[in-house]
Structure 1
């Protein structure tokens, strides 16, 4: 993949950074995390096409946070279990304020 190549995604999920300065190769996990949590359906499809299913599957499990619905969606499309994701393990390790 050429370092200057960019996926054809909208800046919707990247409201907090300068979209034009993102290195899509070097910051692939950041991009995947943002797109799957906050991107449009078209952005998700394009991210899967751009990085490929295997790369997404290998990297996305290391993302720090997922909304519950996003985590369920990723488990379904990537044939993974919740426990495969670091975000899920981190969430389970923290005691809930309601459990105290």
Structure 2
């Protein structure tokens, strides 16, 4: 059953992972991160409508260490959550700037 679910994703999305080893619940943050950063619209609709639901995606995304800026803006807008509440926002912003001589 789970293999059938994973086969519905775009073929290029998990090019570096063995789909036989991927568990929908155990690897939820990996799947959500990959779909937000690299997925197609159909992949997003699949995880939102059939796999996790918007509320679970929100909770997973809040704890992600990294997201592309456009992915962060998208998930923040869709879930109506301020960007500064996401872990990836805090970690990205906390990097110290380069020294100017």
Q: Same fold (TM over 0.5)?
A: yes
> Structure 1 stretch 71-80 or stretch 20-29: which is displaced more?
20-29
Give the match's secondary structure for 1:12. coil
**Cα deviation digits, residues 56-81 of structure 1 (max 9, x gap):** 11111111111111111111111111
The reply to whether residue 61 of structure 1 matches residue 62 of structure 2 is yes
Kindly indicate whether residue 88 of structure 2 is the aligned counterpart of residue 91 of structure 1: no
Which of 1 and 2 has greater Rg?
2
TM-score relative to the length of structure 2: 0.85
Greater share of helix residues, 1 or 2? 1
What RMSD over aligned residues (CA atoms) do the two structures have, in Å? 1.9
The one-character-per-residue Cα deviations of 1:12-45 (angstroms, maximum 9, x if unpaired) are: 2212212332111111111000111011110011
The alpha-carbon distance between structure 1 residues 9 and 76, as it changes in their structure 2 partners (threshold 3 A), is: same
Unaligned runs of 5+ in 1: none
Give TM-score, length-normalised by structure 1: 0.85
Choose 9-18 or 37-46, whichever is displaced more: 9-18
CA separation of 1:17 and 1:4: change in aligned 2, threshold 3 A: closer
Show the 5 A alignment for 1:1-100. Answer: 6=5, 8-49=8-49, 50-97=51-98, 100=100
Unaligned runs of 5+ in 2: none
Aligned residues: 98
